Amino acid sequence: MKKVAYIFLTDGFEEIEALTPVDILRRAGLEVITVSTTKNPFVKGARKIEVKADILFEQGNFADADLLLLPGGPGADSLNAHQGTKNAILEHVNKGKLIAAICAAPKILGGLGLLDGKKATCYPGVEQSLGNATYIHAPVVEDGMIITANGVGAALEFSLLLVKRLVGEEAAKELASKVMA
């Protein structure tokens, strides 16, 4: 069965946190669709790298999603302000499907109450935005169907954990050996 991942982008997204998962998940054979939450398919990252998203948010039908992913960076505040993204997250979680957020983006999940009673990590200084989560000082934290990571340095580990969850441990190990992780 085909696995589909949507990665939400907005101006100011952290490039490594968004594009490392795109790369690794595609290497694992998943269909990855980048989604602009702006009105423009061209989205400029925090380091001024411009990326053309595969679709605009309004074109998305996220019902087939196996994973929704939120990159961090200064753009996390814009993602947090995008009601459509938050609605998609809530619908996805209600279906019991995998959600992932890295860097500052876990605050979006915290604000929605999705981290209450769960373990999570985030970029230092964002901990107070995790709601009633138990903050874990670690690069990547997995709790049920929610995976969080603390920033750019964790992007590869984060991405490989997503492969493990979506494709299997053997696929993740094989891919890790190929990218020398």
Print burial letters for 11-24: b (CB count within 10 Å at least 16), e (below 16): bbbbbbbbbbbbeb
Per-residue model confidence (pLDDT) at position 181: 81
Q: What is the pLDDT of residue 1?
A: 54
CATH number of 4-178: 3.40.50.880
Per-residue pLDDT of the chain (181 residues; tens, 9 = 90+): 579 999 999 999 999 999 999 999 999 999 999 999 999 999 999 999 999 999 999 999 999 999 999 999 999 999 999 999 999 999 999 999 999 999 999 999 999 999 999 999 999 999 999 999 999 999 999 999 999 999 999 999 999 999 999 999 999 999 999 999 8
Give residue limits of the domains in the chain.
4-178
Count Cβ neighbours within 10 Å for each residue of 91-118 and write b for 16 or more, e otherwise: ebbeeeebbbbbbbbbbbbbebebbeeb
- State in Å, rounded, how far the first CA of the chain is from the last one: 27
Q: Token pair of 27, please? A: 């290497």
Please give the pLDDT value at position 27: 97
